[in-house]
Amino acid sequence: MTATTIVYMGHCNLKQIAESGQCFRWKQLDEEGNKYKIIAGSRLLIIEQNAHGYFGLSCTPREFDDIWTDYFDYSGADYSQILAKAEAKGGLLKDAAAAGEGIRILRQDPWEMLITFLTAQNISIQRATTLIEKLCNKYGQKKHSGDTTFMAFPSPDSLATAKPEDLRQLGFGYRDKQIITAARIVASGAVDLDKLKRLDHDTAKLVLKNIYGVGDKVAECISLFGLGKYESYPIDTWVQKIEDYFGHGYIQKEFPDHAGIVQQYLFAYVRRHGLPERGGA
């Protein structure tokens, strides 16, 4: 990689983030899961995790400061504090913190999150990754970074003019209309996703759910990964079991400002260890 910049990033584990289900355009480049090609919007970053929290990056120090520190969420939450609080609770929360240590909430483009989680509904993460790659190849713009060529995430304009039958042909199934109508709403300016960042969570969620195909879970994912709202709490089929275990609303009550981060730890736990033995908290 060219222009190697070495930086320290605490509480960051690339493999953990890559497997956390929030990013669909990370490609593992080595055997161990220490090196990835990341495409975010229309940017590319090669990143490699070395020992003791040091990382090699394919960008200049200035690009790291201007773009990637924000992407990796180094201007927001104090992860060590949240981890410590979860550990102190003991039981499953302690185990979840251990299972999820190193996960960070990536601050991604809300437009990209909208289309990504519309795509990912009711299919496996692996299949969603394949579909999104096809979408970028067909509707994205070709970009260059050094000697590497890559496809940027498609613009709203580009997807707004896509044909339903073409999306079907790619394998999107019934999501074709959802994606095209969402693209048209954003391309027309009827919904300004970036402005949602300045609204409170509940209001932003109402706007999102008003988009055809966006239900509770997808809205929470967009809010968490695209709007940077840590209080968002996506409840999927796995986390639903966790809710049954703790009692409904327990996590959000105990971590009102950071439920989404804890949700990521719990998700990491159930995917690795399966569901906990019995209920009660």
Nearer to DNA among residue 177 and residue 253 (C-beta): 177
Q: Is 249 in the site for DNA (CB under 7 A)?
A: no
Catalytic annotation, pick one of 35, 37, 205, 217: 217
- Whole-number minimum distance, CB 105 to DNA, in Å? 11
Q: How many CA atoms lie within 13 A of 101 on its CB side?
A: 15
Token representation of residue 60:
């200049």
From residue 4 to residue 33, the character string flagging contacts with DNA as x (rule: CB under 7 A) and all else as - is: ----------------xxx-----------
Determine contact, residues 21/126, Cβ cutoff 8 Å: no
Burial class (CB in 10 A: 0-12, 13-18, 19+), 202: exposed
Catalytic annotation on 163? no
**Binder of DNA out of 146, 173, 249, 274 (CB under 7 A):** 173
* Nearest one of 36, 125, 106 to 261, comparing CA atoms: 106
Tell me the window of 58-66, 116-124, 180-188, 196-204 that interacts with DNA (CB under 7 A).
Answer: 116-124
Tokens 């109508």: give the residue. 181
Instruction: Give the residue with the Cβ less far from DNA, 67 or 235.
Output: 235
3-state secondary structure of 245: helix
The reply on whether position 214 binds DNA by CB under 7 A is yes
Q: Which of 5/263 has CB closer to DNA?
A: 263
Lay out the site mask for DNA across 54-73 (x = CB under 7 A, - = otherwise).
--------------------
Told to check if 244 binds DNA by CB under 7 A, we report no
31 burial (CB, 10 Å; 0-12 / 13-18 / 19+) is: exposed
Rounded Cα–Cα distance for residues 106 and 96 (Å): 19
Q: Which of 51, 126, 190, 277 binds DNA (CB under 7 A)?
A: 126
**DSSP letter assigned to residue 155:** P
- Enumerate the active-site residues: 217
